Amino acid sequence: MSAVLGWRPDVLAAAADALTAARTQLAALDGDVEAARPPRTWQGAAAEAARAQFRVLDADYLDHVAEVTVVVAALDEAATTIQRALRDIDTALAAIRGRGWSVVIVGDAVNCTPPPASDGDLLAPLDRPAIVELTTQITDAIAAARNADAALAAALASVANGEVDTTAQSAPRAALPPELRALSTPELLELALADPGAVAPYAEFLTTAQREAITARLTTENLAVAQLGVEPVTGGDGERVLRIAGATAAFAADPGIAAGVLERLGPEGFLDAQLTAQPWSTSLGDVTAGGPVGAHQNAMRALLARGDALDPVWAERLVAHAGATTYDAPDGSAGVNGLQVLGPLLAGEGHATHLLTAAGGAILDHERAVLAANGGEPHPWSPDGSTWRTDLGGERGTGADPLVGVLDGMAHTPDAATAFVLDLAPAGDGTDFATYDGSELAYLLKDRAWPDEVGGSLVGHEALRDTLAAAVTPDAGYAPGPGDDPRSPGTRAAEAIVGVAGSDVDHAGSLTAPLAEGYAAVLATHVNDVFGAYNPLAEASPADAIPGWYDPPWGHADFATAALDNVLPAIGGHPEAGAMLAQQTRAYAETGLLTTLRGVEQLDAGGWEDRVEHARLTYVEELGTVRGHLADGYAAAAAANQEASDAHANERGFFEALEHGTGYALTIGAGEVVNTATERYGLAGPLSGVLGDVVNAGVDWSVTELFEGPPSVNTSRESAWQTSLDLDGLRLQNTLVINNAVYESVPVEDLPDELRTDDGGRVRMTEMTTQQQNLWAAHALSGTSRWSSAATALAMAEDRGSRTGGGS
């Protein structure tokens, strides 16, 4: 019998467990051993002798921990392998004996004997291959057990010979650089504050005592900031705040330390520290350039950005305390709501969804309460007309409006953005405008007062734009269960936003460019459902019309055409937003056209004509409808801009209008003024030169004396001409997409020779010569080719669609 059969893997496993417990005890000594290091302040021969002795002891300690680690791993491996081997052997032995054979193991060899007597003569030959296989299993298992024994012996031998690599196996402290290992805990603490970059990257390898010491020190230092009581911008206080901010930001990357500091500070201490380190005066100028204030705010922000690991109870207390607390700012401003202290810190990445949505909800609740109490004035976030700001800095200032910071955080955390929008969204089916009006989401999108421009930007609506775009992010992993809404939260958010935004046509007039871009992003993300809303055959669309679009995991947004009819012109009134959405609709339509025209299973029976018809109904007319709405908005906005610009010029005088850079008067109105000047004063020659100087170098005020009254500026003709050119360009782009899709779908063998390449392909439309373009166009116009005539028919359908959608 093999000795292997008597081995006891359970004893090996028990030894591994006992050794693991011993290792835990050893590792727990790490703090004491580390604390036994001679302090650096002790110098001289005796101190050096002590250090030498300590290095030996410390190395021995680390060696011992490392060796135990190696043996534990080897014991575990051996126990597992041998246990499996013995089980395999038992199984094989049972199988052999089950066939009537007898089996003995001598040494590590396996001998099997067929069953005796009559039936054995008949069956034994049939069993032999199986017996051989089972015998092999046994010998393999014995070999595996032997190998495990040998591996364990080798591991033990390496330990006995002192060959274990301490740095790879030992206590976490071994991962520390030598210069850190040489420090006592107090010394390490000082270094952590003075040069956090040297310590923070190794925070996880520090002892529990060291980590606790750093946590406690960061807490007390930040509370000390709260006690400064003055604006800590310059001098010694400023340097101190910078140092604390640097250390806080560096160690905020360690989840344990960050959570510990937050817990020790508590919501009250956290807000106190943040309150003091705010730029309470606009006179401070830009606080983003690395000064103490901006640095400390960003450090506090980093501390808070724990993701969803942030303790929800702590976060709830934070928001509640902020909302219920009124602070006095160090500059004497009174009536600072705690949410204004908190808001700037919620910008950027990494915040918990629950924190962002709670803060956003609390801010809107506070606004509504204040507005209801005082009739709308003063603004809830500008107490007493104070001009102080709570800018966090970074990419965008926030003014005194705390929601801007929250929205910026949501823009970086799509789940939070989606949840916030859905929290505010009214229950509705997309067509019940009465429900949408007066909803919390309507307040956010339409009625709320936002900060004035900061640095030339509408920071509030820019943050809102990014939040809306994040809120409707498609969720490719959405997998609704039975009874769940087939629309993902992001899809439902898109529906709500469009429903609210499009519930009245008047909203278009007050729409800012950033918010228009936000709406455009929402529709661009769900552009298939924009087409679907205008497509009477949407329900009958073939499932494979555009792979990934027809039946996306995130479901379909049910946009009401009445809402789209209002939203699209509003978007079109802002050139950048309109251009972005127009481009996205073209891209979608092009994909649909190419997919359909090249052949779709359901449509192939009817051939090319059916495919063209389907493309017309499903993509082309909708493309035209969207263009018509965008064009209407564009034309209306251009006309309104022209009228306002002309009125401004006429009211204030042309040169003053030039100084303020008012739209059309600057670019188009120049010619008008020349005409006026020529008619009135015959000054065309000299005035033309003056105008050149004006445009190039600014206003020459002396020239205004040439006029005996304001000029009569009327640029309506120029504006209308320019608008028509722009809108023709938009139509032409759609036509090109259609034409190209048809051309690309034509079987190459059906193309004229002149449109084929030498290698049997087709000439790309973008690479056609003029002659080739004419050749294809001739086919399209003549209608002699069924392929090319389709391009003409579809382009006409697009134009019809544009008149349905708008008509400009």
Q: Could you tell me which stretch among 144-152, 446-454, 456-464, 557-565 binds other proteins (CB under 8 A)? A: 144-152
In the complex, what is the shortest distance from the CB of residue 321 to other proteins, in angstroms, rounded to a whole number?
Answer: 39
Residue 14 binds other proteins, judged by CB under 8 A: yes
In degrees rounded to 5, what are phi and psi of residue 340? -70, -30
- What is the C-alpha separation between 652 and 100, in angstroms, rounded? 114
Alpha carbons 700 and 662: distance in angstroms, whole number? 17
Give the total residue count for the chain.
808
- Token pair listed for 611: 């495919």
**Contact region for other proteins (CB under 8 A) — 70-78, 564-572, 679-687, 741-749?**
70-78
From the CB of 145, what's the least distance to other proteins, in Å? 9
> Does 500 interact with other proteins (rule: CB under 8 A)?
no
Alpha-carbon distances, residue 694 vs 659, 661, 701 (angstroms)? 9, 11, 10
Instruction: Between 61 and 559, name the residue whose CB sits nearer to other proteins.
Output: 61
Identify the residue among 98, 162, 229, 456 touching other proteins (CB under 8 A): 162
49 near other proteins, judged by CB under 8 A: yes
Reading the block at residue 751, the tokens are 């193309």
448's CB contacts (< 8 A; 6+ apart) are 367
Q: Name which position in 61, 270, 433, 654 contacts other proteins (CB under 8 A).
A: 61
Q: How far is CA 464 from each of CA 332, 406, 417, 448, rounded to the nearest angstrom?
A: 31, 10, 10, 11
Q: Contacting other proteins (CB under 8 A), which of 15, 191, 223, 775?
A: 15
Tokens of 289: 């350039």
Q: At closest approach, how far in Å is the CB of 196 from other proteins?
A: 22
Could you say which of 1, 52, 132, 587 contacts other proteins (CB under 8 A)? Answer: 52
Sign of the dihedral defined by the CA atoms of residues 664, 668, 671, 676, in that order:
negative
Binding segment for other proteins (CB under 8 A), chosen from 22-30, 453-461, 705-713, 795-803, is 22-30
719 to 748, contacts with other proteins by CB under 8 A? none
Q: List the structure tokens of 435.
A: 């429900």
Q: Which residues contact 377 (CB under 8 A, 6 or more apart)?
A: none
Helix%, strand%, coil% for the chain, nearest 5: 70, 0, 25
Cα–Cα dist 576/779, whole Å? 36
Residue 235 CB, nearest approach to other proteins (Å): 27
Q: How far is the CB of 159 from other proteins (least distance, A)?
A: 5
The amino acid sitting at 434 is: A
Establish whether the linkage from the previous residue to 378 is cis, with ω within 30° of 0.
Answer: yes
Instruction: Report whether 246 contacts 295 (CB < 8 A).
Output: yes
Report, in Å, the least distance between residue 213 CB and other proteins.
13
Contacts of 709 (CB under 8 A, 6+ apart): none
Shortest CB 171 distance to other proteins, Å: 13
Give the span between the Cα atoms of 747 and 756, in whole angstroms. Answer: 11
Element (H, E) at 336: strand 336-337
Q: Please report how close the Cβ of residue 415 comes to other proteins at its closest, in angstroms.
A: 48
Closest approach, Cβ 54 to other proteins, in A, equals 7
46 binds other proteins (CB under 8 A): yes
Binding flag, residue 44, other proteins (CB under 8 A): yes
- Does position 157 bind other proteins by CB under 8 A? yes
Count Cβ atoms below 10 Å from residue 12 Cβ, excluding itself.
23
Q: Which is nearer to other proteins, 158 or 382 (CB)?
A: 158
On the 0-12 / 13-18 / 19+ scale of CB atoms within 10 A, 104 is: exposed
Comparison of 108 and 726: residue with beta carbon closer to other proteins: 108
Q: Is 334 in the site for other proteins (CB under 8 A)?
A: no
Q: Which region, judged by CB under 8 A, interacts with other proteins, from 3-11, 581-589, 698-706, 729-737?
A: 3-11
Cα 556 to Cα 409: distance, rounded to the nearest angstrom? 27
47 binds other proteins (CB under 8 A): yes
Region 168-207 residues binding other proteins, contact defined as CB under 8 A: 184, 186
Under rule CB under 8 A, residue 73 binds other proteins: no
Binding status of residue 146 toward other proteins by CB under 8 A: yes
Stretch that binds other proteins, among 12-20, 437-445, 527-535, 779-787 (CB under 8 A): 12-20
Could you tell me the sign of the dihedral formed by the alpha carbons of 764, 765, 771, 777, in that order? positive
Smaller CB distance to other proteins: residue 165 or 506?
165
- Using CB under 8 A, which of 104, 130, 160, 640 touches other proteins? 160
- Least CB distance from residue 198 to other proteins, whole Å? 19
CA distances from 14 to 88, 100, 159, 424, 456 (A): 22, 37, 20, 59, 71
Q: How far is the CB of 158 from other proteins (least distance, A)?
A: 9
Q: Does 771 bind other proteins (CB under 8 A)?
A: no
As given in the structure block, the two tokens for residue 454 are: 């900061």
Site pattern 597..626 for other proteins (x: CB under 8 A) = ------------------------------
Region for 28 from its dihedrals, namely left if φ exceeds 0, alpha if ψ lies in -120 to 50, beta otherwise: alpha
Of 63 and 331, nearer to other proteins (C-beta) is 63
Closest CA to 58 of 136, 162, 147, 173: 173
Please say which residue, 62 or 687, places its beta carbon nearer to other proteins.
62
Nearer to other proteins, 9 or 393 (CB): 9
38 versus 552: smaller Cβ distance to other proteins: 38
Q: How far apart are CA 223 and CA 701, in angstroms?
A: 58
Separation of alpha carbons 233 and 40, rounded Å: 34
> Residue from 1, 22, 104, 587 that binds other proteins (CB under 8 A)?
22
| 56 near other proteins (CB under 8 A) | yes
Is residue 571 near other proteins by the rule CB under 8 A? Answer: no
Q: Which of 77, 88, 108, 149 binds other proteins (CB under 8 A)?
A: 149
The answer to whether 32 contacts other proteins (rule: CB under 8 A) is yes
* C-beta closer to other proteins: residue 4 or 522: 4
Cβ proximity to other proteins: between 15 and 198 the closer is 15
The region of 34-42, 227-235, 507-515, 708-716 touching other proteins under the rule CB under 8 A is 34-42
3-state secondary structure of 457: strand
Among 41-49, 659-667, 704-712, 759-767, the segment contacting other proteins (CB under 8 A): 41-49
Half-sphere exposure of 635 (CA within 13 A, CB side): 17
User: Could you tell me how many residues of this chain bind other proteins (CB under 8 A)?
Assistant: 60
Residues 403-422 that bind other proteins (CB under 8 A): none
In the numeric block, the tokens 């001998």 are attached to 111
Asked whether 402 and 338 are in contact (CB, 8 A), the reply is no
Cβ atoms of 520 and 580 within 8 Å: the answer is yes
Instruction: Work out whether 7 is an interface residue with other proteins (CB under 8 A).
Output: yes
Q: How far apart are CA 450 and CA 401, in angstroms?
A: 8
Closest CA to 727 of 520, 619, 582: 582
Which of these ranges, 54-62, 441-449, 485-493, 579-587, lies near other proteins under the rule CB under 8 A? 54-62
Strand partners, 762: 756
Spatial CA neighbour of 779 closest among 748, 751, 798 = 751
Report in angstroms how near the CB of residue 190 gets to other proteins at its nearest: 12
Indicate which single residue of 33, 497, 571, 635 sits in contact with other proteins (rule: CB under 8 A).
33
C-alpha span between 398 and 458 (Å, rounded): 10
Residues contributing to the site for other proteins (CB under 8 A): 3, 6-9, 11-12, 14-15, 18-19, 21-23, 25-26, 29, 32-33, 35-44, 46-47, 49-50, 52-54, 56-57, 60-61, 63-64, 67-68, 71, 75, 78, 146, 149-150, 152-154, 156-157, 159-160, 162, 184, 186
